Chains A and B, each alone.
With several copies, the nearest count.
Chain A
Amino acid sequence: MTVVWSFLHKLGSPRWFYRISSQWLPWLSFLAVGLLAWGCTWGLAYAPPDAVQGNSFRIIYIHVPAAFVSLAGYYAMAGAGVVSLVWRIKLADVALRAGAGVGAAMTFCALVTGSIWGKPTWGTWWVWDARITSMLVLLFLYLGVMALYEAFESRETAARACAVLSLVGTVNIPIIYKSVDWWYSLHQPATIRLTGAPTMHPDMFHPLVVTILGFYLLYLVLLLLRMRAEVLEREQKSRWVEDLALGRGLAAEPGG
């Protein structure tokens, strides 16, 4: 138990986080960029064109990873919310806020790439399809968390309120997804369907797996970058940030 506690305590230390993340970031970024470059070149240059859609399908290597990550990102954010509510760890507050921003960006990316893809495929930018609509609602949920955070003056209060909201959201996301799915099948016969996954050729599928992994890492890198910026802003008056700003580097923490 004490081991867990001291670990959690250390995790709570912004300075420790800053130091460790400095060590990890180069590796993570390298991996993320490498995977993305590999997956994209493979997917864009070497994978065979789609029988129906020709080359326009290649946007899938951005679209699908972004969509995956944005959903997972919401649960990650809510997880940070739980940690923040239960253990009151400042770093979880930071992660919550950063997660909302990065998650909203990913969702937006999925929506935009989807729209771009929709134009040649469906002849229209936007369709009120179940999955797309629930993606839009997910974006609203992210924006709601961001707006709530900004509305509070006190950071701690903001983070805890956002934690409650994101937890409410996690209960609701499956419900929203299911209900929108249901709504679609009720109102409109299936004139349009997302093509792909089950029948996807392995040559198209393997690069997709690589870019999905790459996107998860990219998410992590962006999250860490935003968290570091926020940590610096919060701790701007503390000694270690001052040392950092003066180019004195970051000494190991006493006992850390």
Chain B
Amino acid sequence: MSAGTGPAWLEIARRDLLIAFRRRAEAANPLVFLLIVAALFPLGVGPAPQELSRIAPGVVWVAALLASLLSTDMLFRSDFDDGSLEQIVRSPSPLYATALAKMAVHWLVSGCPISLVSPVVAGLLYLPAAAMPALLFSMLLGTVTLSLVGGIGAALTVGLRKGGLLLSLLILPLYVPVLVFGSAAVDAAAHGLPWHSELAILGGFALLAVTLAPLAAAAALRINLDS
């Protein structure tokens, strides 16, 4: 048979990747968003390099937060709208695994590329080169949590056609710890201090999110279907 051979969650992940590949032109959107938001700051704040370099860690992280948030919005929405979600919930695979698979794909197509270009964006804001490794690694770990926590919000609002605003209200406050430790790591590196403890804490967040977020998202999806 030409049917998938793995478990259902693998098939779901494969389809999401296929759709993402179909629309690979869109893959650049979070990146461009990051760039534009970062570029707005010199315009709004003024072009003085020292000042920009001081606020760079915070600005890049806030921009990454927003980019990740905005791309989360559609995580479950389209499956809900066309009835796929009903089929997914009824499939023999546990919803926990499916939700986790979808969040993982989301990280792969948004969080991961965002992390990879963040050093470029930070460079535009005069972040010292010494801080770049810290930025890259804290982003790679932090965006995992962002995708997972954002997935909870996407699942909660999946049945509502309210755009990204409501989602932001629910999720941005929950992003605070990642923002704090992410920008702290970069700041520390920029001042030549060690930044490994921050990274370890970000890793802890990611682990916690991996275990708990799919549970919450699965519950939220079921609730939204049963309305």
Contact = CB atoms under 8 A, between A and B. Distances in A.
Interface of A: 85, 124-129, 133, 136-137, 140-141, 143-144, 146-148, 150-152, 154, 157, 160-161, 164-165, 167-169, 171-172, 175-176, 178-180, 182-184, 186-188
A194 to B, nearest CB: 15
16 contacts: A128-B43, A137-B39, A137-B176, A140-B32, A151-B157, A152-B159, A152-B227, A157-B227, A161-B156, A165-B170, A171-B212, A175-B177, A176-B174, A186-B184, A186-B187, A188-B48
Given A137-B173, A182-B180, A150 B23 contact: yes
Interface string B33-56: 001100100110011110010000
A151 to B, nearest CB: 5
Interface residues of B, number: 50
Given A157-B223, A183-B43, A188-B47, A124 B126 contact: yes
Given A141-B174, A147-B169, 15 more contacts: A129-B47, A133-B39, A133-B43, A137-B176, A140-B173, A143-B32, A143-B169, A151-B160, A152-B159, A160-B223, A161-B220, A164-B152, A171-B208, A180-B180, A182-B181
Contacts of B159: 152, 157
Tell me what chain B mostly uses at the interface: helix, strand, loop, or mixed. Answer: helix
Interface string B7-28: 0000000000000000101101
Interface of B: 23, 25-26, 28-29, 32, 35-36, 39, 42-43, 46-49, 52, 123-124, 126, 149, 152, 156-157, 159-160, 162, 166, 169-170, 172-174, 176-177, 180-181, 184, 187-188, 201, 205, 208, 212, 216, 219-220, 223-224, 226-227
B196 to A, nearest CB: 14
B173 A176 contact: yes
Contact of B176 (A150, A152, A179, A187): A179
B166 to A, nearest CB: 6
Contacts of A160: 223
B20 to A, nearest CB: 13
B224 A157 contact: yes
A148 B123 CA distance: 28
A173 to B, nearest CB: 10
Contact of B46 (A172, A180, A188): A188
B124 A126 contact: yes
